[in-house]
Structure 1
Amino acid sequence: GAMSYQAGLKLGVPIALGYFAVSMAYGLSAVVLGFRPLEAALISITNLTSAGQFAGTSLIAVAAPLSELILTTLVINARYFLMALSLSQKLEKTSLWQRLLMAYGITDEIFAAAIGQSGRLSFAFMMGLITLPVAGWTAGTYAGAAASSLLSAEAAGACSVAMYGMFIAILVPKARQDHSAALCMGIACILSLCAWWLQLSSGWSVILVTVLSAGFMAWMHPETDSDTDPEGERHGLE
């Protein structure tokens, strides 16, 4: 069915391929900072967050206090709280341990892929969607770390651009079919430029832009039951 494990697995393929390429850059940088390939892979499979890992690994490398490490990764990854809240509105009935497993797998791209589905999200579908990206992110990290001696620092840095391309590829089709999504993206871009102009740190920028743009859209264009109800769509309901 549309919400089966296999359907989720299929939807996760392009994300996993993109993650493999992007996480190679993380693996490369982790080795440069003094981590072993297996350690870098372990960080990836337990964290599953690009910006959080880059920042956290850098802090560990300079022996920063644990409190600073926790606060920095919490700030950078705070947007996942908002994504989890949004996804919880679309979930079928699930147990606490099932929700904890799904929470582990929430990333920007996985969230974008899941929230774009019509109807209620099942636990099996979410597990399918998470499986390959986790494998791709971890394997890519190990591959990048193992191949660190083959690429220059400039080439490693260039790999990180792949993440933005992947995110755009997921969001643009959604924006074309849903004008409110396009408006939200436009507002987010403007706010992001403002944050850059005000020289806010990247972590705070992400949080403020996400909260303000999502909050504005929730106020101006709240999602009704028919937005997530395929039956309603078939009957021409707005």
Structure 2
Amino acid sequence: MTEDFKHGVKRGIPICLGYLSVSFTFGLLTVNGGFPIWIAVLISISNLTGAGQFAAMNLMIYGTTYAEIALTTLFINLRYTLMSISLSQKLKSEIPTRKRLLIGYGITDEVFGVASLESGSLSFPFMMGLILISLAGWLSGTVLGALICSAMPEYLSSSMGIAIYGMFIAIVIPPLKKSRPILYIVLFSIILNMIMYYIPAFHKISTGFRVIITSLIASGIGAYLYPAKEEEENA
């Protein structure tokens, strides 16, 4: 175990602890939705993204098509492509493509944030330490949540489903308090969802595609009305 790997593990411990609670909720949701524990573990290890997993699992519970699940996951996870491209500029030049692809698998919002703040070039052992400890936290929480939910009486495990709403509130509220544009975009998304839910003409559109349509329209309007301002550097 190299010093870089140890340093990556040390830097990833807070991520690991944070992932435990979120993935615990995902394990509860999966088993509560009627899926076996191994499905929860398989999804967590193959699709390392909280928002993508929760969205996909909800669509699976609703019984939507594979195309809807794939498109929704694609749009939600598209930002990781940009993060991986950005982070590749900090990787040491001697890291081969196969190892860069392995690093790309483990890029999440938190991993990207921690790695971006590191000074100097990033080595492969450091990234593996950071990713593996984060993955360990995510998988551990998933397994614990799934096991506990499966051991509970049905009436109690069903009531635990409310935890997902608490998690979503915890994710959304802090950015809303800091940014007016995000607040307006979220409110517009809510209004658009209500329109598509209560107007019968939209009932022909499945739940999965409603999520996709709402996401695209809201994010498109947000990008148009509130474009990110590039920072100008003074020579």
| TM-score, normalised with respect to structure 1 | 0.73
Separation of aligned partners in 1, 2:218 and 2:129: 28
| Alpha carbons 1:192, 1:209 under 8 Å: kept | no
Deviation at 1:7, TM superposition (A): 0.5
Counterparts in 2 of 1:77 and 1:221: CA distance versus 1, 3 Å? farther
> Superposed, which structure 2 residues align to 1:53-68 within 5 Å?
53-68=53-68
Alignment match of 1:220 (pick from 218, 227, 231): 231
Q: 2:81 aligned with 1:81, yes or no?
A: yes
| Alpha carbons 1:21, 1:159 under 8 Å: kept | no
The gaps in structure 1 that reach 5 residues or longer are: 169-184, 225-237
SS of the equivalent of 1:143 reads: helix
Cα deviation 1:144-167 (Å, max 9, x = unaligned): 0111126532663366269749xx
Cα deviation 1:20-73 (Å, max 9, x = unaligned): 111000000111111111210111011111110111112222332211111100
The number of residue pairs the alignment matches comes to 203
The residue aligned with 1:11 is 11
Structure number with greater Rg is 2
> Superposed, which structure 2 residues align to 1:1-238 within 5 Å?
4-93=4-93, 94-148=95-149, 149=152, 152-153=159-160, 156-157=163-164, 160=167, 164=171, 189-199=179-189, 203-204=215-216, 216-217=228-229, 219-221=230-232
Separation of aligned partners in 2, 1:98 and 1:67: 30
Counterparts in 2 of 1:24 and 1:196: CA distance versus 1, 3 Å? same
SS of the equivalent of 2:24 reads: helix
Q: Which amino acid aligns with 1:134?
A: L
Q: Which amino acid aligns with 1:153?
A: M
The gaps in structure 2 that reach 5 residues or longer are: 193-210
Separation of aligned partners in 2, 1:162 and 1:20: 17
| TM-score, normalised with respect to structure 2 | 0.73
SS of the equivalent of 1:147 reads: helix
Root mean square deviation, CA, Å:
3.4
Identity %: 40
